[in-house]
Amino acid sequence: MTVERATTYHNFLKSWVEGLTVHHPHTLNHAKRPNVHVVFHIYDFLLLFGPVISWWCFPFERIIGFLQKINTANHIGGELEGTLTKSFLRGANLRRWLRRSDCPEIIKQFKAIFDRAFAPQSERAGTSPPLVRDSNHAHYMFNGTNFSCALMHLGNSLVLYYPSTSASEPIAGSIEKIISRGDKTSFIIRCQAPLPTGQFDPFLRYYPYFPAQTYSTKMQNTTDTVHPSMILSHGARFEFSEDRAVVLNLSRS
Ligand SMILES: *[C@@H]1O[C@H](CO)[C@@H](O)[C@H](O)[C@H]1NC(C)=O
Ligand SMILES: *[C@@H]1O[C@H](CO)[C@@H](O)[C@H](O)[C@H]1NC(C)=O
Ligand SMILES: *[C@@H]1O[C@H](CO)[C@@H](O)[C@H](O)[C@H]1NC(C)=O
Ligand SMILES: *[C@@H]1O[C@H](CO)[C@@H](O)[C@H](O)[C@H]1NC(C)=O
């Protein structure tokens, strides 16, 4: 997180709030919402705690979901919950230590043993094995990420990819086929047609802070055949008008 990014967040938010009564005049008659006030404080938290991904509530939501699924055979009332909460906090403290530059050597040494016992999910998932007979995959795991053909799961088929090794910019597309020949796997991707010249991309002014780009809603007539490593990330696509679709870069790096 940089001061510049946090300030940009603040400015975008301000222009959104200012635009609200202009574009949706009925909001003038509403009581002021506390949410609109509260989101401005995210600016302070960005500066204090860094990117939201480090302090958002998803991990806690996840642990609540995990706790609710535990079969306790009605043994509720304190002890079990206490034990679970303590283990969770111990785990969090350990991870916090491991991220610190002054992490004691002994904790680092234990991490090596721990990693061998409990490999991270992405490493466990790894890459799908080749098929016994040459054929097509409906979905394929590459380096911990699950890709699907459009017919199987449209969302998992939307990607940003480099159409060739010489391409400098990734483009958006949808995986049509995943072909397995011997131990070689290739993705056949139909790319999203570019925005026709002269059409307006309303997301351009937020780039690169909000890494979304507008394309045509149409697909190209040609496909690219690429190695899975040419895929940068999944993308999310939303058709916001008859002829324009926005594609958001979902890269985790
Ligand atoms: C797989 O992912 C890891 C960690 O994200 C990365 O370091 C590595 O280069 C990736 N391997 C390939 C073949 O893309
Ligand atoms: C990958 O996605 C497909 C389609 O959504 C699903 O059926 C499959 O179980 C997923 N594979 C893994 C390993 O998550
Ligand atoms: C694809 O081909 C059809 C007919 O050949 C044409 O009408 C259409 O405009 C083409 N689409 C794109 C995106 O080039
Ligand atoms: C996609 O997002 C990642 C992480 O935000 C960034 O590093 C990368 O440059 C972006 N690529 C494009 C084409 O927007």
* Helix 3-23 vs helix 42-49: crossing angle, to nearest 10: 170
Residues with Cβ within 8 Å of residue 129, at least 6 apart in sequence: none
Atom of ligand 4 nearest to the CA of 233: 1
218 lines ligand 3 (CB under 6 A): yes
pLDDT at 48: 96
Please give the share of the chain, as a percent, with pLDDT higher than 70: 97
What's phi and psi for 218, nearest 5 deg? -85, 160
| Distance in Å, CA 195 to ligand 3 centroid | 14
Nearest to 157 by CA among 173, 169, 168: 173
Judge if 171 and 65 occupy the same domain.
Answer: no
Judge if 207 and 220 occupy the same domain.
Answer: yes
Higher pLDDT, 81 or 51: 51
| Distance in Å, CA 206 to ligand 4 centroid | 13
Range of the domain at 14: 3-56
Judge if 167 and 203 occupy the same domain.
Answer: yes
Atom 11 of ligand 1 has which residue's CA nearest to it? 143
Contact present, 237 and 150 (Cβ < 8 Å): no
Is 171 part of any domain?
A: yes
Judge if 93 and 192 occupy the same domain.
Answer: no
Judge if 206 and 146 occupy the same domain.
Answer: yes
Judge if 140 and 241 occupy the same domain.
Answer: yes
Contact present, 225 and 188 (Cβ < 8 Å): yes
Atom of ligand 3 nearest to the CA of 219: 13
Question: What single string gives the DSSP state of each residue in 155-187?
Answer: HHHEEEE-SSTT-SS-EEEEEEEEEEETTEEEE
Quick check: 87 pLDDT over 60?
Answer: yes
Write down which residue in 18, 35, 56 finishes a domain.
56
pLDDT at 186: 95
Which ligand has the shortest distance to the CA of 126? 1
Atom 3 of ligand 2 has which residue's CA nearest to it? 139
Query: For the chain, how many structural domains are there in total?
Result: 3
Is 129 part of any domain?
A: no
Give, in order, the Cα–Cα distances in Å from 198 to each of 39, 44, 90, 195.
35, 39, 57, 8
Question: Which residues share a beta bridge with 223?
Answer: 190
Q: Which of 120-129, 138-147, 229-238, 240-249 is least confident?
A: 120-129
pLDDT at 44: 97
Structure confidence by residue, pLDDT tens digits, 188-207: 999 999 999 999 999 999 99
Q: Model pTM?
A: 0.76
Is 128 part of any domain?
A: no
In whole numbers, what is the pLDDT of the chain averaged over residues?
91
Quick check: 123 pLDDT over 80?
Answer: no
What's phi and psi for 189, nearest 5 deg? -120, 130
